[in-house]
Amino acid sequence: MNIIMANDHAAVELKTEIKNYLEAAGHHVTDLGVGNGERADYPDKGAEAAREYLKGGYDFGILCCGTGIGISIAANKVKGIRCALPQNLFAAQMAKEHNNCQFIAFGGRIEYPQPVTQMVQGFIDASFGGERHARRVEMIMEIES
């Protein structure tokens, strides 16, 4: 898979952990985030990754900031993007199965009940359910109009 990632300075370690996990599994990761010692504003990083995703060529994206909240809000402001903020494995799977999200976001300062890499894998393994969920996703996207 071709995955886009972005992060701010509050989630460098988490971004690195996820990126290493994905690359070890054979995925290609485009990293728009920052490394140790660099500072970045999460709204800029979320919007940058979302806009780059919309250019095409990516299967999905992962965003990380201190809580995951701000960067997910920023990405969701980009027309056409659905970014979820899963709090556990079940929510990560449902983000794909029910909402067909293109992005998931995590917080570098959050303690999750399962490893974040497990949630990422759950998102990867999930498939969009279509049918009744497609109608609801369309309803969500119509809100942008």
Task: Please tell me the distance from the alpha carbon of residue 97 to that of residue 134, in angstroms, as a whole number.
Answer: 10
CATH number of the domain that 64 lies in?
3.40.1400.10
> Please, are residues 106 and 88 in contact by the beta-carbon 8 Å criterion?
no
Question: pTM (2 decimals)?
Answer: 0.97
Q: How many CB atoms lie within 10 A of CB 39?
A: 8
- Residue 83 structure tokens: 């970014």
Q: What is the pLDDT of residue 139?
A: 93
- Residue 63 structure tokens: 């965003």
Local structure of 1: helix, strand or coil: coil
The phi and psi torsions of 51 (rounded to 5 degrees) equal: -65, -40
- Residue 31 structure tokens: 């990293």
Query: Number of C-alpha atoms within 13 angstroms, CB side, residue 84?
Result: 23
Domain ranges, residue 17: 2-142
Task: Please tell me the distance from the alpha carbon of residue 57 to that of residue 75, in angstroms, as a whole number.
Answer: 18
The phi and psi torsions of 106 (rounded to 5 degrees) equal: -140, 160
pLDDT averaged over the chain? 97
Any catalytic annotation for residue 28? no
* Number of domain units in the chain: 1
Task: Please tell me the distance from the alpha carbon of residue 87 to that of residue 81, in angstroms, as a whole number.
Answer: 19
Any catalytic annotation for residue 65? yes
| β 83-84/103-107 pair status | parallel
Q: What is the pLDDT of residues 56-73, one digit of tens each?
A: 999 999 999 999 999 999
Residues of the chain with pLDDT under 70: none
Given 27, 28, 64, 65, which residue is catalytic? 65
| Torsional sign, CA 79, 81, 82, 85 | negative
